[in-house]
Amino acid sequence: MIESGILVMNKPQGFTSFDVIGKLRGILKMRKLGHTGTLDPMATGVLPVLIGRAARACDILPDERKAYRAGFQLGTVTDTQDSTGTVLETHAFAGITAEQLRDAFSALTGEIQQIPPMYSAVQVNGRRLYELARQGREIERPARTVFVERITLTAFDAETGTGTAEICCGKGTYVRTILHDMGQVLRCGACMTALTRTAACGFTLDDAYSFAEVQQAADEDRLEPLIIPTDRLFTALPALTLSAGQTRLYRSGVQLDAGRVCGVCGDAELYRIYADDGSFLGLAALDRTAGTVRVYKNL
C-alpha cells in the first residue's frame, strides 16, 4: 500500500482540481490526498497530487513557480476573462503587431499589481468571488502583488488576432488576467482561449499521468513506480543525514546540537533531513541563536 509520495496528474479539461482528488480517491482507495495549486476546469496539465503524509507539505512548498502555455484572442472581453464567459465587449484589433504584443507583455512582467477576476476562488469579506459573480454581483477587489518571471510570445496571427504565449509566474497569479490586462494595455481587449500548465513544483508534463494510466496501473497492482518520493519537492534545500543516536532523539522531538550535525552550513535555515537508514523525515530548521537543529515539519 502506498503510504506517501507525489502523483503528478495531467488534468483533463472539464475537471476542477477537487474533481481530480475525488476521482483519485476512488482509484487509489485513499482519503488523504491534497493538491499543490488550483487549476480552472478549462485548464489542462500538470497537477501534483500529494498522497498520505506528503499532504502535510501543501503549506511549505519552497518552489511555487508555475509555467503555462496559453492561447488568446484579441478584440474580445468576457466576464470570466476567458472564452467560456459571456462576451461583454468587442473591439477592432487590426494593426496590432507582434512587437506591440511583446511590449505589452513586457509591461506585465516582474513584480506587478493584479486584480483577481470576479470568477475566482479568492475570498473577499469571507465570500468566494465566484459565488458573488454567479449572483450577478461585481465588487471592488483589492489588487495583489504577484510575480511574473517571463512571458514569451510563441505564435501570433495578426489577421485573426489569435496567438499563444508561454508564461512563467509565481503563486497566486491568474494567467487569464495577464491576457485580459494585455488587451487593456493594447486598448483592444483580449481573453484567454486555452490553458495548459506545463510545469509546477519542479514537475513537468513528462512526469504526469492520465486517469486511464493511473487506473491501469492500479488494476495491475503496479502503482508504486508512478509515485515520486516526497523529498523531490525539496531538492532546492540542503540535506542533513543524522546518526543513529541523533535519529532517535530527533524522532522524539529533541533539539539537536547544530555543531554535532554533519552538513549544517552557515547560510541555510531549512534543511531536508534524513534518518541514519536514509529514510526522509521531513524538514528541519536551524536556530542560530540557540545553536540547535529542530523539527520544522515531519513528513
**What CATH number has the domain bearing residue 154?**
3.30.2350.10
Q: Longest Cα pair distance anywhere in the chain, in angstroms?
A: 72
CB 148 within 8 A of CB 108: yes
- Residues 246-260: tens digit of each pLDDT: 999 999 999 999 989
Whether residues 250 and 155 share a domain: the answer is no
Q: Does residue 159 sit in the same domain as residue 107?
A: yes
Q: What does R_g of the chain's alpha carbons equal in angstroms?
A: 22
**Same domain? 251 vs 168:** no
Instruction: Give the per-residue pLDDT at 59.
Output: 82
* 226 shares its domain with 293: no
Cα 202 to chain centroid distance, Å, stands at 10
- Residue 110 host element (H or E): strand 110-114
pLDDT value of position 34? 86
Domain boundary among 197, 215, 249: 197
Question: Does residue 124 sit in the same domain as residue 23?
Answer: no
* Identity of the amino acid at 130: Y
Expressed as residue numbers, the domain containing 42 is: 4-63+202-231
Considering 231, 248, 283, which residue would you say is the last residue of a domain? Answer: 231
Give the CATH number, domain containing residue 287.
2.30.130.10
Same domain as 125, residue 42: no
132: confidence class by pLDDT, cuts 50, 70, 90: low
Kindly state whether residues 71 and 162 are assigned to the same domain. yes
Mean pLDDT, residues 227-242 taken together: 93
Please indicate, yes or no, whether residues 92 and 213 belong to a single structural domain of this protein. no
pLDDT digits (tens, 9 = 90+) for 86-106: 999 999 999 999 999 999 999
Domain's final residue, options 146, 174, 197: 197
Tell me, yes or no, whether 25 and 116 share the same domain: no
Structure confidence at residue 133 (pLDDT): 54
Structural domain count of the chain: 3
Both 86 and 153 in one domain: the answer is yes
Percent over 70 (pLDDT), the chain: 92
- What amino acid positions are annotated as catalytic residues? 40
Q: Are residues 185 and 85 both part of a single domain?
A: yes
For residue range 180-196, list pLDDT tens digits in order: 999 999 999 999 999 99
Strands 44-52 and 4-11: antiparallel
Quickly state the pLDDT bin for 2 (edges 50, 70, 90). confident
Closest to 273 measured CA to CA, from 265, 264, 260, 282: 282
pLDDT tens, position by position, 6-46: 999 999 999 988 899 999 999 999 889 988 878 889 999 99
pLDDT bin (cut points 50, 70, 90) of residue 172 is: confident
Q: Which residue has the cell 503549506?
A: 59
Closest CA to 21 of 43, 47, 56: 47
Q: Which three cell numbers stand for residue 206?
A: 513528462
Picking from 99-108, 116-125, 209-218, which range would have the lowest pLDDT averaged per residue?
A: 116-125
Task: Please give the Cα distance from 253 to 150 (Å, whole number).
Answer: 42
**70 and 58 in one domain?**
no
Q: Does residue 3 or residue 30 have the better pLDDT?
A: 30
Is pLDDT of 134 > 80?
Answer: no
Residues whose CB falls within 8 Å of the CB of residue 216, separated by 6 or more in sequence, listed in order: none
Lookup result for grid cell 487549476: 39
DSSP string, 130-178: HHHHHTT-------EEEEEEEEEEEEEETTTTEEEEEEEE-TT--HHHH
pLDDT tens per residue across span 261-290: 988 987 889 999 999 999 999 999 999 889
User: pTM score > 0.85 for this model?
Assistant: yes
pLDDT greater at residue 262 or residue 128: 262
